[in-house]
Structure 1
Amino acid sequence: MKKLRRASIQKQILILATLLVILVSAIAMFSEPFIYGRSDRDFQDGLFAGQAAMVLDRFKAAASTLEEDAALNFASRFGIRAERLSSTNLVAMREKIISSGDLVGKIKESLSSSVLISIEHLLTDEPNSDRLVVKVDAERALIFHMPVFPARIWFAPAVASGLLKIVVPLFLLGLVSSWLITDPLRRFAATAKRASLDDSSDEAFEPDGALELRSLAESLNVMRSRIQNMLQDRTRVLSAVGHDLRTPLTRLHMRAERSEEPELRRLMLADIATLTLMVDECLAYFKDPSAGEDFRKVDLSSLLQTIATDFSETGVNVTYSGPRRLAHACRPQALTRALSNLIDNASRYATQIAITLKPRDDGGVQIRVIDNGPGLTDELKAKVLEPFFKADESRKIGRKGGFGLGLPIAKGIVMKGHNGQFTLMDAEPNGLIVAIDLPAA
């Protein structure tokens, strides 16, 4: 069975198709004799014709009314509806009367279409049967009511046979196919969904299942390793470039300070400060701010209050609401960086910012950064989390602008550094809510 699970998909499908044919044939071979042998219409028709002939012979031999009644009672024990034809109706129905020798042939001819009649009678409660008038002698005749075979004689066996030969094998085939093909594909898709370009986890695609899936998993593992190596090389190159840029920026800053023209010195220092900030922000994005910092338990309430106080002292209206003390394990420096980015970003568009803290029942915490700004559309909510995207392209770089890295850096700190959730929601009546959900460490 393990060899079958690890075979190619083409071989698995061929084997499963062969097993299906064998299974259907085996079930049909053992089930049909019991299903159709008991409900064969020819057998039922012949049985009814023979019983009707016996009743006719016994009625013909009757010498009195009591003996005729006994013959009719004998017919009722077989489930045959038979009745005398009165002498007044005998003349009126003379053209429809058949001879006793034609009884068996006429019964079979009348019942030959009973399947179609039974299909029609599926929707009726009291189907009307055909009648045969048989001549007993010159003064007597019998009326035989043709039976209407119930649906269970032909319909129910067909349904049961279909269930046994088709539905049951297909169900079993579906279970085996799910175990062989679907389950490995589902696990593979889940692993691929968790993977991303900035994924630094060591979880690899498990080479399990069919030959093609194992080959694909190995190829994706190689590709993933190459991508991670490329990202690491990119980070190292950008870190080296950023480090090397700091030296000429420092020299430019010193030379600008010695400038004798105040206005030129001011402009040059402003440009140098902007360049320095751009280098710092880019390096912070390309390199995980959480790297190198361990989890430790801190008073999260005091941390958030300190952040709110620091911004309030610079003129930004930031308030905090939540418990007075709440211990939680996190990376405090990285989390401070994330919340500072969020508040700094919100301060460009809003006049009031609120930080809320709430513990969760599972040991995690909920942090909300709420502002009263214009908010974001659903389309912009996805785009602002992309690096270097600015919702208002008309804003220039500076205090009222930005590089489009504040939200992506905060998202990376929350999701990668703390395994948390980072969501943008609408505030009421206007504004934006940045929802941060941190799990229990």
Structure 2
Amino acid sequence: MLKRFLQGSIRWQIVTLAVLPIFLVGVLGIMTEPASPEKTELTQAEIAAAQIALVARQVDTAITSDASETVLAIARQAGMEVARVSPVGAPPVEGTDYEIRLLTALENVHGREAVVVDTSDGDLAIVVAVKDGHLSFVPTVMPVPGLNDDVVNIILSVIIIVLPVAFLSIYAARLITLPMTRIAAAADAQNRADPATEMFEEGGPREIRLLAKRLNEMRSQIESMLKERTAMLRAVSHDLRTPLTRLKLRIEQSVEGDPADALQRDVDAINDMINETLSYLRSDAEIEVPRKADLPSLLRTICSDFSDVGYTVSYTGPDRLSLECNPKSLARAVANLVDNGTKFGGSVEVTLKRDLYGAIRIEVADNGPGIPAEIRSRVMEPFEKGDPSRSPSTRSGFGLGLSIVREIMTRHGGTMELAHREPRGLCVALVFPSACRKA
């Protein structure tokens, strides 16, 4: 029955959750009615009033003083605190709700007038008039202050009726919303998942199963379109290499001097654009299995590769720090940032550290012209070069470097931050939150 409920329509699940608690409240109310304090034959105050009235009546009917003393002695043996007082002594006080109920029961039920007074011990006593004086009673069972029959009734109703129904409703509501929560979590993890896997679990209510099925179908269609687009652009970019190679050879054979150098730089720039485009398209197609990597070794290798070809690139950070990641993708992202730094600045500094919140930060800083704050979010978009001040005459690409880095960080569940470096330059930080799996 529970399985049919969970796989049924959301409309009927909501109707069930609306009607079932009402039904349960009615059933529990009928079952717990005998336990209600207001349904007992006598309340505590009424019982105490009956006891006091009984003792007072026995004293009134006693023939001799010895007989009345015997009645008081028996009452004391039964646990009642009773004594003779004459006159009344302390002035009457209002008393608590319990004493008020007791006085009302004495007067209305037993026809006895009584008052409440303070005793020498600080307790409240009930003083009742008898034929030969007054009797002072200190109730032996005193209720908790502020806890009367009505309060007890409300507490019992909450414990016996309201709480079970509330817990049942919360549990049932969670069963209904759990499939939707899973779909939201799957959509959030979309960029970090293997495209071949089925992202959205087709379970739960009928509408949720239909939604998950349609989302999986839509995702498959989008993946297919992206693969076709990537294959086409990669083929076009690859085919451009052949005429570029022929053009480069003809320039070397037929042109000499400055014109040849200018044409050669143009050919190299076009070739760099093709390589950048293929690199960007390859990031869509490749899925790397995460594994534990030593970040200092990875970063030192990148710095050494650039230093070997004449660039000023240095590393600062710990000697050991492991992170479960996609090493090839991460190395590619850092290499793109270092390459950008060498294009626009004279030196690049790569720094590895942990922040105060336990997140791992890889910072790549250059001493170039920097990027204005108002366009930093725009330059991370594909094919966006941003400010012309960071566009040199050579080694210029399509503006895909930062977008590739951002996509790689998204797959890692991290973020990329751009900030101004003092006194000049740009600092790009790759941040892996403390929630990332690391050692």
CA–CA distance in 1 between the matches of 2:75 and 2:210? 76
Retained in 2: the 8 A contact 1:80–1:144?
Answer: no
Matched, 1:3 2:4: yes
Retained in 1: the 8 A contact 2:191–2:410?
Answer: no
Deviation, structure 1 residue 163: 1.6
1:408 corresponding residue in structure 2: 403
Q: Which amino acid in structure 1 is aligned with residue 55 of structure 2?
A: V
> Which secondary structure state, in structure 2, belongs to the residue aligned with residue 404 of structure 1?
coil
TM-score w.r.t. length of structure 1: 0.69
1:69 corresponding residue in structure 2: 69
Retained in 1: the 8 A contact 2:341–2:348?
Answer: yes
2:230 corresponding residue in structure 1: 235
CA–CA distance in 2 between the matches of 1:213 and 1:319? 53
Retained in 1: the 8 A contact 2:280–2:400?
Answer: yes
Deviation, structure 1 residue 215: 1.1
Retained in 2: the 8 A contact 1:381–1:424?
Answer: no
Deviation, structure 1 residue 252: 5.9
Unmatched segments (≥5 aa) in structure 2 = 93-102, 354-359
Matched, 1:162 2:194: no
Deviation, structure 1 residue 226: 1.5
TM-score w.r.t. length of structure 2: 0.69
Q: Which amino acid in structure 2 is aligned with residue 216 of structure 1?
A: L
CA–CA distance in 2 between the matches of 1:334 and 1:103? 85
Deviation, structure 1 residue 343: 1.4
Identity of aligned residues (%): 33
Instruction: Write the mapping of 1:66-215 to structure 2, written as runs, cut at 5 A.
Output: 66-76=66-76, 84=84, 86=86, 106-108=107-109, 128=124, 133-134=128-129, 136=131, 140-143=132-135, 150-151=143-144, 154=149, 155-178=151-174, 180-196=175-191, 200-215=195-210
1:120 corresponding residue in structure 2: none
Closer, same or farther: CA 276–84 of 1 in aligned 2, 3 Å: same
Closer, same or farther: CA 13–329 of 1 in aligned 2, 3 Å: closer
> Which secondary structure state, in structure 1, belongs to the residue aligned with residue 204 of structure 2?
coil
CA–CA distance in 1 between the matches of 2:323 and 2:58? 100
CA–CA distance in 2 between the matches of 1:163 and 1:11? 29
1:363 corresponding residue in structure 2: none
Closer, same or farther: CA 74–349 of 1 in aligned 2, 3 Å: farther
CA–CA distance in 1 between the matches of 2:294 and 2:129? 105
Retained in 1: the 8 A contact 2:87–2:134?
Answer: no
Retained in 2: the 8 A contact 1:257–1:265?
Answer: yes
Retained in 2: the 8 A contact 1:82–1:143?
Answer: yes
Closer, same or farther: CA 289–338 of 1 in aligned 2, 3 Å: farther
1:341 corresponding residue in structure 2: 336
Deviation, structure 1 residue 259: 7.8
TM-superposition CA deviations, 1:322-346 (whole Å, max 9, x none): 8999999998876664443221122
Retained in 2: the 8 A contact 1:355–1:370?
Answer: yes
2:16 corresponding residue in structure 1: 15
CA–CA distance in 2 between the matches of 1:205 and 1:109? 75
Deviation, structure 1 residue 206: 1.0
TM-superposition CA deviations, 1:271-297 (whole Å, max 9, x none): 444333223312321233874999999
Retained in 2: the 8 A contact 1:355–1:368?
Answer: yes
Deviation, structure 1 residue 383: 5.6
2:31 corresponding residue in structure 1: 30
Closer, same or farther: CA 404–197 of 1 in aligned 2, 3 Å: farther
1:58 corresponding residue in structure 2: 58
Closer, same or farther: CA 292–18 of 1 in aligned 2, 3 Å: closer
Q: Number of aligned pairs?
A: 403
> Which secondary structure state, in structure 1, belongs to the residue aligned with residue 389 of structure 2?
coil
TM-superposition CA deviations, 1:177-215 (whole Å, max 9, x none): 32x223322222211111149963423311011111111
Give the RMSD, CA atoms, in angstroms: 5.2
Q: Which amino acid in structure 2 is aligned with residue 15 of structure 1?
A: T
TM-superposition CA deviations, 1:388-427 (whole Å, max 9, x none): 34464432254476543223334555775xx686655889
Unmatched segments (≥5 aa) in structure 1 = 94-101, 112-116, 118-124, 359-365
Selected match of 1:311 from 291, 297, 306? 306
Deviation, structure 1 residue 373: 4.1
Retained in 2: the 8 A contact 1:289–1:413?
Answer: no
> Which secondary structure state, in structure 2, belongs to the residue aligned with residue 274 of structure 1?
helix
CA–CA distance in 1 between the matches of 2:104 and 2:295? 100
Of the structure 1 ranges 327-336 and 182-191, higher mean CA displacement relative to structure 2 is found in 327-336
Q: Which amino acid in structure 2 is aligned with residue 210 of structure 1?
A: P
CA–CA distance in 2 between the matches of 1:198 and 1:286? 17
Matched, 1:226 2:217: no
Retained in 2: the 8 A contact 1:207–1:218?
Answer: yes
Deviation, structure 1 residue 317: 1.1
TM-superposition CA deviations, 1:85-130 (whole Å, max 9, x none): 53698xx99xxxxxxxx9976255999xxxxx9xxxxxxx97756x
Retained in 1: the 8 A contact 2:37–2:152?
Answer: no
CA–CA distance in 2 between the matches of 1:7 and 1:82? 69
Closer, same or farther: CA 110–170 of 1 in aligned 2, 3 Å: farther
Q: Which amino acid in structure 2 is aligned with residue 181 of structure 1?
A: I
Deviation, structure 1 residue 227: 1.1
TM-superposition CA deviations, 1:6-37 (whole Å, max 9, x none): 01122112223333233333332232312426
> Which secondary structure state, in structure 1, belongs to the residue aligned with residue 129 of structure 2?
strand
> Which secondary structure state, in structure 2, belongs to the residue aligned with residue 158 of structure 1?
helix
